[in-house]
Amino acid sequence: MTELKDLERELSRFRGRLVAAAAFVLLGFGLLTARLVYLQIFRHAELATQAEANRIAVVPIQPTRGLIVDRNGVVLASNYSAYTLEITPARVAGGAAGLDALIDQLSTLVEIGPRDRRRFKQLLEESKGIDSLPIRTKLSDEEVARFVAQRFRFPGVDVKARLFRSYPLGSVGSHLLGYIGRINPAEKKAMEDWPEEQQANYKGTEYIGKLGLEQSYETELHGITGFEEVETSANGRAVRRLKVHPPTPGNKLVLSIDIKLQALVEQLYGDRRGALVAIDPRNGDVLAFVSMPNFDPNQFVDGIDSENWRALNESIDKPLLNRALRGTYPPGSTYKPYMALAALEMGKRTPQQTIYDPGYFMFGNHRFRDDKEGGHGTVNMYRALVESCDTYFYMVAADLGVDAIAEHTARFGFGHLTGIDLQGEVRGVLPSTAWKRAAYRKPDQQRWYAGETISLGIGQGYNSYTILQMANAAATLAADGQRHKPHLVHEEIDAVGGAKHLIAADPLPPVVVKPEYWDVVHKAMIGVNADPEGTAVAAFKGAPYVSAGKTGTAQVVGIKANEKYNAASLAERLRDHALYIAYAPADKPTVALALVVENAGFGAGAAAPIARRVFDYLLLGQYPSVEDIAAVRAGKGTTPVGTSRRAVDVPLPGQEAAPAAAAAASAPNATVAAR
């Protein structure tokens, strides 16, 4: 009996466990069913969308960057497609050692030189490690095929097709064009403050304008980013394309620059340092914008390596400095026409009034020397400008005073930004009592001394301006006071509809001066180039047109009162700068310019001959002979030598001559007259 009772008790316990197990299983299935119902019914739409998103990738499509062409249609900046071999460092194991080993392995398939390694290292230092960085650019089809066949061996490495910027003329016009470069961390951070729409437009963009027009017109040149929806596999590889929204290319920029003239001026400078800006005084079109030495912007397109960057950045000649925009110089005697106008307007001088120049001007106990030993004798305003008499303008400055000089010359743009369509322009220094109080801290430094005014009359002292400001002032002078904002871009052509948008703004308020005062200065500046005593007459002898100009020589270091300037005794970089301003034709000017040749001595010998060749090119369609270019480069040019060539027949650097029919359309004298 006891055994039966024990058996029943065990069966009862077993049934209880079975029921508990069944209940637990049913509960588990119930919870699973409830979860499935919740996911399948209540969250169906949300999860379906997420699944679709995991399956479909939205890939940005970078737009083609807009072209930049000169006024005659010569392409200055274009694009081409090429393959790059790229590494994503975050996907490479082993850190720096692993990267070096990977690059060594890649070099067995694709040539990777020391420059490629240096550039990659620099890009790696600037990136966050998650970016895809190029180790080799511009791969050949054979190199691409070799790598693709072995791709499985190199995780984190891939071949990509990219658009590259190209500057076909190399260093010609590099300072005005600028260059594009890879977006650095600081720029990426700055982009975070952009409007959302603008940030979205730069998705997938890795290169932006860094300098020059590429930077100033970045938005117009960039275009509108497109995108494509791509179905991807589980490992993230594209399976098929579902939808495409094509990008909109960037707009084309048509410059006012004549690039053949630009190249000619750069040739005339040779190895010398300096700057030249030529402007059409009728509308503000910049015809040439030269800064020497220059550089090849193609070096920056796929990332410049540290060695070449150091060579450019640490060069004593400062090739990366835009001297036309950011270099400041004392204007020297090129300042005298504006001083003459101020004296006439304020009634401090009449054109006929004369002074006697003994070769110096005494102010207190200080002797201010004239450039001509023994002086110019008796001179009026005409002779003072034609012969560049310093003593005459020392006296004018003393009679005007510093603040009156500042007030009158400021109207021509001295000491003010011109507003040209380039970033980074500097103001220079237009001295005044207010300027000095703001520039210095100590009371004795803030005080303006009367003796400091004297040197201002000949463009020395605190005077310091850009060549762009001097050219802009010369253009205003040439146009009898009419002012325009200088600009490098003449028009912008829409990439979609082809609509043209002129960049030139309305004229600015003019400088109002009595017509008879303009005539006095114009006649004297014509005399500078034509009068037998004119300081620039040698350079313009035999010219079939009438031009006006003013030479200038600016001291780099001061000379003591009892000493005489001797260039041979000074280091080359301590010698005087040669300056020149001019415009032509004198009766109806179509071009005005200013230029400096650093440490080259007298403006008449080093600067005026360059201006003569610019005028011959623009007004006559003539290009100097090879021997004449060599003479000017050597600082020995006066009037042109050899047989001049037709400008349309001379090819651009590195390019073959265009057919005569095509070249005729770009005749410089016809083009300038049309604009």
For the annotated catalytic residues, the residue numbers are: 333
- Which residues lie closer than 8 Å to 301 by C-beta, 6 or more apart? 164, 165, 166, 167, 179, 180, 181, 207
User: Based on the number of CB atoms within 10 Å of its own CB, is 609 exposed (0-12), middle (13-18) or buried (19 or more)?
Assistant: buried
- What's the sign of the alpha-carbon dihedral 478, 479, 480, 484? negative
- Rounded to 5 degrees, φ, ψ at 195 are -60, 150
Residue 556 CA, chain-centre distance (Å), reads 26
**What type of residue sits at position 264?**
L
**Residue 599 Rama label (left phi>0; alpha psi -120 to 50; beta):** left
DSSP letter at 247?
Answer: -
* C-alpha dist (Å) from residue 318 to 147, 270, 305, 322, 517: 41, 15, 18, 9, 41
7, 578, 33: which is closest to 330 by C-alpha?
578
- Which residues lie closer than 8 Å to 345 by C-beta, 6 or more apart? 408, 513, 514, 517
Distance CA 605, CA 535 (A): 9
Helices (H), 137-216: 141-149, 174-177, 185-191, 196-201, 212-216
Residue spans of beta strands (DSSP E) within 200-237: 207-211, 226-232
DSSP string, 504-571: PPPPBPPPP--HHHHHHHHHHHHHHHHSTT-TTHHHHTT-SS--EEEEEEE-SS---TT----GGGS-
Q: At what angle do helices 336-345 and 402-410 cross, to 10 degrees?
A: 100
Which residue reads 């009862």 in tokens? 12
Bridging pattern class, strands 252-255 and 68-69 = parallel
Distance CA 197, CA 194 (A): 8
